[in-house]
Amino acid sequence: MNGANEVYRGTHRGAEAPRSATRSSGGAVFLTLLGKECLELLRSFKLIWVPIVFAVLGIMQPVLSYYMPIIIEKAGNMPEGTVIEIPAPMGSQVLADTLSQFGVMGILILALACMGIVSGERNSGASALVLVKPVSYASYILSKWLSIMLLSWGSLLLGYGAAWYYTWLLIEYVDVVPFLLSFVLYGLWFSFVLTVTLLFSTALRSAAGAAFTSLGAAILLTVLAGLIPKYMAWSPGALTGLAYQAATSPGWLQMEPASWWAVITALIAIAALLAASVVLLKRAPARD
């Protein structure tokens, strides 16, 4: 009986070793793929020019708000003796206006930068060469998704942080809590839009088609959330409005707990979109 137990233990230990090695190998493969994606972003200079553009957009809003009276006075053909009095903007409103800039230019820049992240490799056949054992379809998609998340969140933090700093220098100090809360909400909106871009990049042959289809979906959700907020409060498109409210009046979020359904819906949608991307990639790793 003891001999049989020893054989069982030995067999059990022998079966555990390959599974442990497989888990370790899977993690190493994922990190290798993630490093490859980050290196590609660096080689294409996206890790350089995208954060710089966001920083410029972030700095422009508080600077323009501060110098707007002088700009109007110097640029306009006003009668002599005209006095222009524009009330000083609130710091929280400047941050909300900065988010509006990111919502237009920022999403466009990120979508264009990430539009060919899967379709480019599928069209060239490179994805079929990469997707061999032990590389899984899920690791392939997740490595690309995480790389664009690092790019988008890092760029947003740099640009929005620059706006917060220059608002403090030129206008007034804005508390860190509404700044961070609005940053997280808008970052989640970026994550949703770029995950949609990743899905369409997997499904479509055209990289431009993936970018503009995802932009169209983002615009549609935002417009619907603005037109019928009562019925679209659960939509990810409501995240932009939540971010603006967080920047200007953070207490409003505590009074509207139902609005947090937009956060839950966005997280569920991101997970579903990633799963759909994996399924689409399995059907056709490369285009003919």
Query: Cα(168)–Cα(161) distance, rounded to whole angstroms?
Result: 11
Q: Taking each helix axis from N to C terminus, what angle separates 239-248 and 176-203, rounded to the nearest 10 degrees?
A: 160
Cis before residue 134, ω within 30 degrees of 0? yes
Sequence ranges of the domains in the chain: 31-283
Longest Cα separation, the chain: 108
Six-digit token string for 166: 């220059």
Query: Cα(193)–Cα(266) distance, rounded to whole angstroms?
Result: 10
List the pLDDT tens digit at each of the 288 positions of the chain.
444 444 334 434 444 334 444 444 668 888 888 898 899 999 989 999 999 999 999 999 999 888 877 776 666 666 665 666 667 778 899 999 999 989 889 999 999 898 888 888 777 777 777 887 678 889 999 999 999 999 999 999 999 999 999 999 999 999 998 899 999 999 999 999 999 999 999 888 888 888 889 999 999 998 888 888 888 888 999 999 889 988 888 666 565 666 788 999 999 999 999 999 999 988 876 665
pLDDT of residue 4: 42
DSSP string of 157-176? Answer: HHHHHHHHHHHHHHT----H
